[in-house]
Structure 1
Amino acid sequence: MLDAERDASIKAPSISQNGVRSSKEVEYRSGIWELVKKWFDEGIETHGISPTTEEERNDTRTYQIFTIWFSSSFNLASLSGGTLGPLLFQLDLKFSLVIILLVDAICALAPAYLCMLGPKLGVRTMILSRFSFGYYGAKIPAILNIFTMLGWLILGGIIAAQFLVGVFPSITVASAIVIIALVAFTISFCGYRLLHQFATYAWIPNALLFITLPAAGARNLTTTPPASLNVTPSQIISFAAAIATFNLTWTTNALDYTVHHRPNCSGHRIFSYTFLGIFLASFAWNALGAVLGVFAQVVPAWGESLGPDGDNFGALIATVLSPAGGFGKFLMVVCFLSLASTGAILLYSFGLSFMCVSTKFAKVPRYIYSFVGTAIVIPLQIVLSSTLFATLQDILSLIGYWTATFTAIVLCEHFIFRKNQCFNYHAENWDNPSILPLGVAATLAFLLSFAIIIPCMGQTLYTGPVARAGAGDVGIPVGFAAAWSLYTLFRSIECLFTPNRLG
């Protein structure tokens, strides 16, 4: 029946008003089917989580690797992270900027390195984890990544909504959240190609805003802000942990955006494009956020605009841009829409992670999960929009703990057990549980790492004894070190008993 519908030349009689459907009606319906099919084939990515073949890895535009990572971080969402230093951890500008510089640079290394594996292997990040966690164990990071993407979507949507409300106070936060969610959904729905195309230009209005913000607020930047007194290691480490999560999170998605590039692409170029895209973008806006956060404490109008909870960043930006008049408002609206670039990337990886959890989920087209993610996140954004700062701190730190341990295990597998060689992976075994690693080593290392992380946590909900003793929130570096050490031990034992299960 389907073949008959596709063939416009078939003249199949069928019931109509006069009892028989004409051949023109069949041709018309066939034409509609072909049009829809062509739209999906050319405009919407339908490829799921299976590895891309070498023929499918034919994209030569490596510069788009830079733009997609640059656009994903070079926006107002990253600004909020920088403000945490002065506003939440009471650090001065010098301490905040040094921490931001070092942490942003270090944490951009892992996703930059993993991006190089995408063109070589053609597998998504959560599929790569099967070569260490095993077929069944890899469901753990896939599920956690689903919640991670939702967490970032919640934060990004709330922050984006604040900026639109800052321009148009008559618009409710809920309405602004729905608008940005629908824009992100549209881009994510179409998939890989549109994501890259949108990211190529999405950073431009943000660059104009980045230049305009300090220029508009220059007259208020003459006052020397006070230096921090008696800064403790706890303040420094806790702020570093919050900043680390911004870049470290990209590790769980790194390969997703290079699986269509040519296998012979220069690895050094891919690494450089990814590292510079993530680092330059995140450092620029984190640093500007720190500047605004510091001066918001000495410029009365800026401080008042933050509201009683000190987290209304949209109103702060609108106040700083007020000397720019209508141009400033125009920039805020355009930059509000450009925040959809980050949201689209998160929705895209949300769908891929969902497909890795179960073979039943993998049968559902990827773009359907864009619907699912949008439907879930909008009500959560609306409910949590009134407690941004508390939500921001808790979500960032909790995300950082598991991504640090995941990163350690995946990198340890690659460097120690795969000898830093891509030919030691056999991507064709991606869905073969009997050939992939058993996964016991990775699962044990992952779970036991959290037994070490918990005493080191420093959260509003729970503070462990190590953090309470004055060390601060050291859960991320401790988790990374623990996972690497434990995995090295357990994986060595696993290889002794299952030498042929390498995947």
Structure 2
Amino acid sequence: MVSTTGWNAINSISGASVLAALSNDKCPQWAGVLIICTTVWIICVLGISWIHRLDAVLWVLPFIVWCVAAGTGAPHLHGAAIKSPTGPNGAAAALSFMAVVFSFAVSWINCAADYNVRMPVNTPRYKIFWATYAGIFVPTVLVQTLGAALYSGTESNATWKHAYLAYGVGGPLKMALEPAGGFGKFLMVIAALSSIPNNIPNNYSFAMHAQNFGPWALRIPRVALVTCGYIAAVIVGCCAAKFFPEATLQTFLSIIGYWTVIHIIVVAEEHFIFRGGRWSRYDLDAWSKSDLLPFGWGAIGAFCFGFLGAALGMKITWYTGPIAQLIGKKGANIGHELTFAFSALSFPVFRWLEKKYTGK
């Protein structure tokens, strides 16, 4: 719930920075956050059917924006504008960047089932896997590539640099679309509102996650839980836009992202090691009966050891782990790799002990 709220806020701030750049600060970032989050809330209140209908087509307009921005901004984009470091320092920079991208891409794994559950029961598993993977991989690569290209313009053009320092990501995008005139301004609005389809799963899944508190949570109307997620995102987004840098929130969310790696390990090892990879070994009717389910001591132990690995390998703005410091002059973020290793090695031991002493 914290993770979906945080990413909801970050995405809203990115869209709001575009509106601020377009309006020359007449629409401040906090107002843009409020506009985007409110629109997301309205769509989420409508329910899962409308979410599927809208998100199936809402990607088209932002895709047009990125294509036009790449074309009109091309004269200012230079692959050699920023010299890439080599050797250990280059490896450190690459590992740290990979960690950031991985953090937000892998976070969808906790939400995917909320939407894939609508698939027909006889849908082949490989189709669900590849559809989900492509849906994350393709836009991530395209947008990250364009983002890197636009940032290269800030290193070779003083006007672009000033726009970036003034408005964040919205500044270079405004400069890239400037040659398109009025049509470019229209595309800026579309670009700002493209945060909406990206945030819809965040807000809706907030409600789905909240229902995991227990059977009592299932009795709370989902509209009420969606509204709680909306209020939380507005507060965090507006405060972040007003009082502290977006990078601080991203750093915090990157730390939270380590738990997703542990989540993957626990689910996968439980399935393949302790269930033999067979779905027949699950009692699907026991999902809401706590007396038939393991308490989760094995998973708790894996989480503790996993975060120990993260602490040793993470590199963020205000902390660099002892192992991370060994790569390059400034260190490299290898927290995900160490989280994976520590949790993968510890979970089988803790889960075996849990089964031995609890029988579940």
- TM-score if structure 1 supplies the norm length? 0.67
Distance (Å, rounded) in 2 between the aligned partners of 1:299 and 1:259? 48
Work out which of the residue numbers 261, 273, 281 in structure 2 matches 1:424: 281
Distance (Å, rounded) in 2 between the aligned partners of 1:344 and 1:462? 32
Work out which of the residue numbers 320, 323, 333 in structure 2 matches 1:473: 333
Query: Quick check: 1:408–1:481 contact (8 Å CA) kept in 2?
Result: no
Query: Quick check: 1:162–1:314 contact (8 Å CA) kept in 2?
Result: yes
More helix by share: 2
Are residues 1:253 and 2:107 paired? no
What residue number does 1:306 align with? Answer: 164
What residue number does 1:351 align with? Answer: 207
Written as runs of structure 1 = structure 2, the 5 A alignment for 1:68-83 is none
Work out which of the residue numbers 173, 176, 190 in structure 1 matches 2:46: 190
Identity %: 28
What residue number does 1:484 align with? Answer: 344
Distance (Å, rounded) in 1 between the aligned partners of 2:40 and 2:245? 20
Are residues 1:284 and 2:139 paired? no
Query: Quick check: 2:298–2:350 contact (8 Å CA) kept in 1?
Result: yes
What residue number does 1:157 align with? Answer: 12
For residue 278 of structure 1, report the CA deviation from its aligned partner: 0.9
Are residues 1:321 and 2:177 paired? yes
Q: CA RMSD in A?
A: 1.9
Deviations 1:91-110 (A, max 9, x none): xxxxxxxxxxxxxxxxxxxx
For residue 409 of structure 1, report the CA deviation from its aligned partner: 1.0
Deviations 1:220-264 (A, max 9, x none): 236842432445132221111111112110111121111122211
Deviations 1:392-440 (A, max 9, x none): 5413421221111111111211222223333322221111112112311
Are residues 1:361 and 2:221 paired? no
What residue number does 1:101 align with? Answer: none
- Residue 438 of structure 1 aligns to a residue whose secondary structure is coil
Work out which of the residue numbers 133, 144, 153 in structure 2 matches 1:295: 153
Are residues 229 and 251 of structure 1, via their aligned partners in 2, closer, same or farther at CA, if it must alter by over 3 Å? closer
Work out which of the residue numbers 174, 177, 189 in structure 2 matches 1:333: 189
Query: Quick check: 2:65–2:190 contact (8 Å CA) kept in 1?
Result: no
5+ residue gaps, structure 1, are 1-145
What residue number does 1:447 align with? Answer: 304
Written as runs of structure 1 = structure 2, the 5 A alignment for 1:37-436 is 146-169=1-24, 170-221=26-77, 224-230=80-86, 232=89, 233-307=91-165, 312-386=168-242, 387-436=244-293
- More deviation in 240-249 or 220-229? 220-229
- More deviation in 353-362 or 204-213? 353-362
Distance (Å, rounded) in 1 between the aligned partners of 2:235 and 2:161? 29
Distance (Å, rounded) in 1 between the aligned partners of 2:67 and 2:213? 43
Report the AA paired with residue 236 of structure 1: A
For residue 330 of structure 1, report the CA deviation from its aligned partner: 0.9
- TM-score if structure 2 supplies the norm length? 0.92
Distance (Å, rounded) in 1 between the aligned partners of 2:57 and 2:85? 43
Distance (Å, rounded) in 2 between the aligned partners of 1:288 and 1:296? 13
Query: Quick check: 2:262–2:339 contact (8 Å CA) kept in 1?
Result: yes
Query: Quick check: 2:269–2:348 contact (8 Å CA) kept in 1?
Result: yes
- Residue 10 of structure 2 aligns to a residue whose secondary structure is helix
Q: Name which one, 1 or 2, has greater alpha-carbon Rg.
A: 1
Deviations 1:431-482 (A, max 9, x none): 1112112311111111122123212221223222222333512111110121
Report the AA paired with residue 410 of structure 1: V
Distance (Å, rounded) in 2 between the aligned partners of 1:223 and 1:353? 42
Distance (Å, rounded) in 1 between the aligned partners of 2:143 and 2:188? 15
Work out which of the residue numbers 348, 351, 354 in structure 2 matches 1:494: 354
Report the AA paired with residue 124 of structure 2: S
Deviations 1:279-312 (A, max 9, x none): 111111011111112232112222111116xx71
Query: Quick check: 1:241–1:400 contact (8 Å CA) kept in 2?
Result: no
Distance (Å, rounded) in 1 between the aligned partners of 2:249 and 2:176? 23
